[in-house]
């Protein structure tokens, strides 16, 4: 018994030592992790590439702020390497992936300087990024949800089939297509030479991963519209918005959209094989109960009627 107790003590000692060692290996961005010269290079880049969206003082305009409480709460205790990786993969918004790793690191140094984190003698590099973290910050309390009592929503403009064709169908196809085409390797479409075509021009603005970001957001944000009271199916039957299985199918679609958005933000091409399966299941599970019995294009008499 004494020997077993001693062995347990040894194991606990090793575990505690390992935890302390891991803590010692990490350092905070408060510990002068970048140089002033590096921040100066980052400032030049920032003015050229970032200020238009994030503001001259990093206060946020079209893009979110890069200083202040909200920024720190968003990156609380997270590795600086992840922040640099996001800069490199997703910025600038209109030309993601155009910054090198070194440029992205310089930008991070400038953002730290603007956030009043002190400079030091050594420059940030890949090895330093891997063990540097943002300080722990407390998120601001979420505002209370606005009451909708006494208000009325306008009736749905389109029927269920029209809503699906307008939003879910095209955006799901963009996500499914990532299985076979890496958005980061596709050439940017060029607008037609003439005459000017708004549709062709629009398709050329947000290409590559940006189009996948937006498709995922479109699915996630609009799936709850499938629960709008008063919406009809194309055959005139009411959408079964109160049924538990319908609510579950909508929730599954929202979850697939969120997974797609996280993977797209990380530019994780390989993740989309599994995500496409989840999205396909979310659609197919609902279709086989509410859509696939009856005529084409949502006109069958038994559409929107649940299986017995």
Query: pLDDT tens digits, residue range 233-269?
Result: 887 889 999 999 999 999 999 999 999 999 999 999 9
The phi, psi pair for 232, rounded to 5°, reads -110, 155
Q: Which residues contact 99 (CB under 8 A, 6 or more apart)?
A: 45, 49, 87, 88, 91, 92, 107
- Map out the domains of the chain as residue ranges: 25-133, 160-298
**Nearest Cα residue to 114 out of 21, 50, 25:** 50
Tokens found for residue 239: 């959408």
Q: Which residues contact residue 165 at a Cβ distance below 8 angstroms, ignoring those fewer than 6 apart?
A: none
CA distance 131 to 42: 21
Domains 25-133 and 160-298 alike in fold: no
List, as one string, the DSSP characters of 228-248: -TT-B-TTSPBP-TT-HHHHH
> 96-105, 249-258, 260-269, 284-293: which range is least confident on average?
284-293
pTM above threshold 0.75: no
Q: Residue 20's pLDDT is what?
A: 42
Least confident residue range of 207-221, 222-236, 291-305? 291-305
Residue with the two structure tokens 């920024």:
71
Q: Does residue 25 carry a pLDDT above 80?
A: no
CATH of domain 25-133: 1.10.760.10
**CATH number attached to the domain at 160-298:** 1.20.120
Beta-carbon contacts of residue 191 (< 8 Å; ≥ 6 apart): 197, 200, 201, 204
């Amino acid at each position: 018994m004494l020997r077993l107790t001693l062995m347990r003590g040894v194991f606990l000692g090793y575990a505690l030592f390992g935890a302390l060692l891991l803590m010692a290996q990490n350092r905070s961005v408060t510990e002068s992790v970048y140089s002033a010269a590096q921040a100066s290079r980052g400032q030049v880049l920032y003015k050229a590439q970032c200020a238009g969206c994030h503001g001259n003082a990093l206060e946020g305009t079209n893009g979110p702020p890069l200083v202040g409480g909200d920024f720190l709460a968003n990156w609380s205790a997270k590795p600086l390497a992840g922040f640099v990786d996001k800069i490199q993969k997703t910025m600038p918004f209109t030309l993601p992936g155009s910054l090198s790793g070194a440029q992205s690191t310089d930008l991070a140094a400038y953002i730290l300087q603007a956030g009043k984190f002190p400079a030091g003698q050594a420059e940030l590099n890949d090895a330093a990024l891997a063990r540097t973290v943002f300080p722990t910050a407390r998120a601001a309390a979420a505002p209370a949800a606005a009451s909708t009592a006494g208000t009325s929503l306008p009736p749905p403009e389109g029927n269920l089939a029209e809503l699906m064709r307008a939003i879910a169908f095209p955006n799901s196809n963009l996500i499914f297509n990532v299985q076979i085409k890496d958005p980061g390797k596709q050439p940017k479409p060029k607008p037609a030479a003439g005459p000017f075509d708004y549709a062709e021009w629009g398709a050329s603005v947000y290409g590559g991963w940006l189009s996948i970001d937006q498709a995922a957001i479109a699915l996630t944000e609009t799936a709850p519209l499938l629960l709008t009271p008063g919406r009809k199916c194309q055959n005139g039957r009411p959408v079964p918005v109160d049924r538990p299985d319908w609510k579950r199918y909508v929730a599954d679609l929202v979850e697939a959209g969120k997974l797609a958005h996280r993977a797209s933000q990380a530019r994780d091409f390989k993740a989309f094989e599994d995500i496409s399966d989840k999205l396909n299941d979310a659609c197919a599970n609902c279709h086989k109960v509410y859509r696939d019995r009856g005529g084409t294009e949502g006109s069958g008499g038994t559409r929107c009627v649940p299986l017995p």
